[in-house]
Structure 1
């Protein structure tokens, strides 16, 4: 049974230290020094990555993404929360409740 709880809108997230990050042709690519893996966040993921450089509430990320992209409220929230959940699973961000 999976006991992972999806990130909530009121959670605060921020990048972990030790991530080497670069912009390549408009996409954000990263190397985690801790786990030795490369990641390509793409353009949209790169926007979120930049937003979480400092601690920020998930709700604020969703609002920022809705202002930047033509997406409905529910779809934006689902996509942002899912993306952040993946970053947490990979050990790339911290979640502070």
Structure 2
């Protein structure tokens, strides 16, 4: 099922994260793999500390990087799809939307 802008997204349980120097490193306890985040993906990861709609996440990133949401959306959605496939994030349907 494709993710939508109204879906709630958050970090999955069982994913450990640590900041090492200027990098954020994730480790999935489910698959034992490590992932290193870029500067932009670090910002996304920080915002996923508590559940947030994808629409609100895109708005926050748009404000932070001073870019239109339309520019940020494609890359962010690809990032979220990738992390969803790896089990690093979880998505639930937002019943209030």
State the TM bucket, normalised to the shorter chain.
0.7 to 0.9
Task: Please tell me whether residue 67 in structure 1 is matched to residue 67 in structure 2.
Answer: no
Which aligned pairs between 1:8-87 and structure 2 lie closer than 5 A? 8-87=4-83
CA contact (8 A) 1:8 1:81 kept: no
- Deviation for aligned residue 1:73: 2.3
Q: Secondary structure at the match of 1:83?
A: helix
The two structures have a TM-score, normalised by structure 1, of 0.88
Q: Distance in 2 between matches of 1:27 and 1:43?
A: 7
- Deviation for aligned residue 1:79: 1.2
Where does the alignment leave 5 or more consecutive residues of structure 1 unmatched? none
Q: Distance in 2 between matches of 1:73 and 1:50?
A: 18
Q: Secondary structure at the match of 1:8?
A: coil
Q: Distance in 2 between matches of 1:87 and 1:18?
A: 13
How many residue pairs get aligned? The number is 93
Q: Distance in 1 between matches of 2:29 and 2:64?
A: 31
Q: Distance in 2 between matches of 1:81 and 1:8?
A: 9
Q: Distance in 2 between matches of 1:24 and 1:67?
A: 26
Q: Distance in 2 between matches of 1:93 and 1:17?
A: 8
